[in-house]
């Protein structure tokens, strides 16, 4: 999964050296980033003109906090490659004016001409970015209250439940949808149901990833465990 995904990103950068990439965090893309670093270290990839926008960031964590997505991206990818610091964009989880932070983030994506390739993971509850199951799809970058399932799932990264942030800033569904290409990764059995619902279920805000059925250029890369329910050709409601 990771090698396939890294190959798609590498191809994107080779075809368009000034690509705008949308990036994801979490466990899923870890080895994909390692693979990209490996390709870079072999001298086969140049990030000097690449711009990046991350999907989301926790509210209330400083950039230097080892649990922040800023820190994650620095450690997993940015400090190993030749990306220019001014080309890196991650929502500021410490912004005084959160609504302004959201609208500026959205405007900045637009200014670059939009995201060429957006990398996504998927939550066990079908979320993409931190667009949680809800009654409506939230369009643009916004402040979200995290779903209980997400908080429980994220607790593995923190010492105690108390420390797990409950709010975040996330790109919205429309922000993600405007990406020219989407590459969604999923691995492990815990993602199998969400993957099946995304691909074959109804398009409903209760399964935010299901909206991707309407996007014109999505590649879903799964390992066998995450893809196991797709083979049965069942409809998942």
Three-state DSSP at 73 gives helix
- 8 Å CB contact between 24 and 120: yes
Q: Take residue 42 and report the two structure tokens written for it.
A: 């072999």
Number of residues that bind ligand PGA (CB under 6 A): 6
Cβ atoms within 10 Å of 149's Cβ, excluding its own: 15
Determine the interface stretch with ligand PGA among 23-31, 104-112, 131-139, 226-234 (rule: CB under 6 A). Answer: 23-31
Q: Which is nearer to ligand PGA, 107 or 152 (CB)?
A: 152
Shortest Cβ 139–ligand PGA spacing (Å): 19
- 8 Å CB contact between 179 and 22: yes
Shortest Cβ 233–ligand PGA spacing (Å): 25
User: Per CB under 6 A, does 26 bind ligand PGA?
Assistant: yes
Three-state DSSP at 206 gives coil
Parallel/antiparallel/unpaired status of strands 117-120 and 20-23: parallel
Question: Backbone phi, then psi, for 179, in 5-degree steps?
Answer: -65, 140
Parallel/antiparallel/unpaired status of strands 117-120 and 88-89: unpaired
Radius of gyration (Cα) for the chain, nearest Å?
A: 17
Shortest Cβ 28–ligand PGA spacing (Å): 3
User: Per CB under 6 A, does 27 bind ligand PGA?
Assistant: yes
* Distance, CA of 11 to CA of 21 (rounded, Å): 12
Which positions are catalytic? 56, 125, 127, 132
Q: Is 101 exposed, middle or buried (0-12, 13-18, 19+ CB in 10 A)?
A: buried
Comparing every residue's Cβ against ligand PGA, the nearest one is 26
Site string for ligand PGA, 123-162 (x = CB under 6 A): x---------------------------------------
Shortest Cβ 175–ligand PGA spacing (Å): 15
Return the biggest CA–CA distance within the chain.
Answer: 49
Q: Take residue 64 and report the two structure tokens written for it.
A: 């230097």
Q: Which is nearer to ligand PGA, 87 or 194 (CB)?
A: 194
Shortest Cβ 185–ligand PGA spacing (Å): 8
Site string for ligand PGA, 87-126 (x = CB under 6 A): ----------------------------------xxx---
User: Per CB under 6 A, does 189 bind ligand PGA?
Assistant: no
User: Per CB under 6 A, does 28 bind ligand PGA?
Assistant: yes
Interface with ligand PGA (CB under 6 A): 26-28, 121-123
């Amino acid at each position: 999964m990771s090698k396939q995904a890294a190959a798609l990103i590498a191809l994107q950068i080779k075809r368009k050296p000034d690509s705008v990439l949308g990036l994801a965090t979490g466990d899923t893309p870890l080895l994909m980033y390692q693979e990209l670093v490996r390709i870079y270290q072999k001298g086969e990839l140049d990030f000097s003109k690449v711009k990046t926008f991350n999907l989301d960031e926790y509210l209330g964590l400083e950039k230097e906090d080892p649990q922040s997505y800023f820190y994650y991206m620095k450690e997993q990818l940015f400090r190993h490659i030749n990306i220019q610091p001014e080309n890196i964009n991650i929502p500021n989880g410490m912004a005084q004016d959160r609504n302004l932070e959201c609208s500026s983030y959205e405007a900045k994506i637009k200014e670059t001409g939009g995201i060429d390739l957006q990398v996504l993971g998927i939550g066990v509850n079908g979320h993409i970015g931190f667009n949680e199951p809800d009654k409506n799809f939230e369009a643009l970058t916004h402040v979200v209250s995290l779903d209980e399932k997400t908080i429980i799932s994220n607790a593995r990264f923190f010492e105690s439940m108390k420390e797990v942030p409950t709010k975040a800033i996330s790109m919205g569904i429309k922000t993600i949808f405007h990406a020219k290409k989407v590459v969604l990764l999923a691995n492990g059995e815990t993602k199998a149901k969400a993957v099946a619902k995304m691909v074959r279920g109804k398009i409903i805000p209760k399964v935010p990833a299901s909206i991707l059925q309407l996007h014109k250029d999505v590649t879903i890369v799964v390992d066998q465990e995450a893809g196991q329910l797709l083979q049965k050709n069942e409809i998942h409601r």
